[in-house]
Structure formats: structure tokens, C-alpha cells
Amino acid sequence: EDKVVQSPLSLVVHEGDTVTLNCSYEVTNFRSLLWYKQEKKAPTFLFMLTSSGIEKKSGRLSSILDKKELFSILNITATQTGDSAIYLCAGYNDKIIFGKGTRLHILP
């Protein structure tokens, strides 16, 4: 059975800290890995990763995929209170399977 496991499940840090969120996957016929941010509403797309070792970057957020070790990380540098959210990782083969998410809380 395909599965995606995220860690930690929750994380509390102070504003300005750097955080690393982890995602491991077991997805047959893997095609890509997706990261989303969810605040109070619908999940919003952050990154899609298909190739190992190529970092994707958007402002203070970056992500990388390791297809050999079957994991991905999402880094957020210089965190701000607006980064507080649930971060979702998903594996895609012919369907999209999500992990349980990491709930990140940034203290001012």
C-alpha cells in the first residue's frame, strides 16, 4: 500500500529560526512529490519535485527530493509568524496520496 509519512507531526519555533520538515514515501511507480501549505482554507501549492538532487526555491522556502532514499525535505529560513500552517507532502503515481502533515507554529 502506498504511503507518505511526515515528521515531525508538530513543531513550535521562534520567529527567525530555520526549520526542516521531513517527508518519506513509499509510492509504487512514483512520478512526483508535491508540497502544499494549508492555513485555514484549502491547501495551496508550493513545490512539485520530480528529479533527485535539484533544489526548488521560492523566497525563504526550498525543497529537495532524494529518489534513492525516498524522501524529501522542505526548508523554511528566517521564519515569520505568517509561516504558521500545516505543511502537507504528497506522493503522486496515478493518484495523489497525502501524509498527515506537519503543524508548524511560529512564536513571535
Question: Which residue from 104, 48, 103, 102 is spatially nearest to 80, judged by alpha carbons?
Answer: 104
Check: CB of residue 89 under 8 Å from CB of residue 35: yes
Would you mind telling me the total number of residues written for the chain in this entry?
108
Q: Which is nearer to another protein, 63 or 78 (CB)?
A: 63
Check: CB of residue 36 under 8 Å from CB of residue 44: yes
Joined grid coordinates for residue 82 = 505568517
Minimum separation from the CB atom of position 70 to another protein (A): 18
Question: Which residue from 56, 57, 68, 75 is spatially nearest to 25, judged by alpha carbons?
Answer: 68
| Interaction mask 35-74, another protein, x per CB under 8 A | ------xxxxx--x-x------------------------
Minimum separation from the CB atom of position 36 to another protein (A): 8
If binding is defined by CB under 8 A, does position 11 make contact with another protein? no
Rule CB under 8 A: choose which of 19, 21, 74, 101 binds another protein. Answer: 101
Check: CB of residue 5 under 8 Å from CB of residue 17: no
Listed ranges 13-21, 54-62, 71-79, 98-106: which one lies at the site for another protein (CB under 8 A): 98-106
List interacting residues with another protein (CB under 8 A).
6, 31-32, 34, 41-45, 48, 50, 86, 88, 92, 94-101, 103
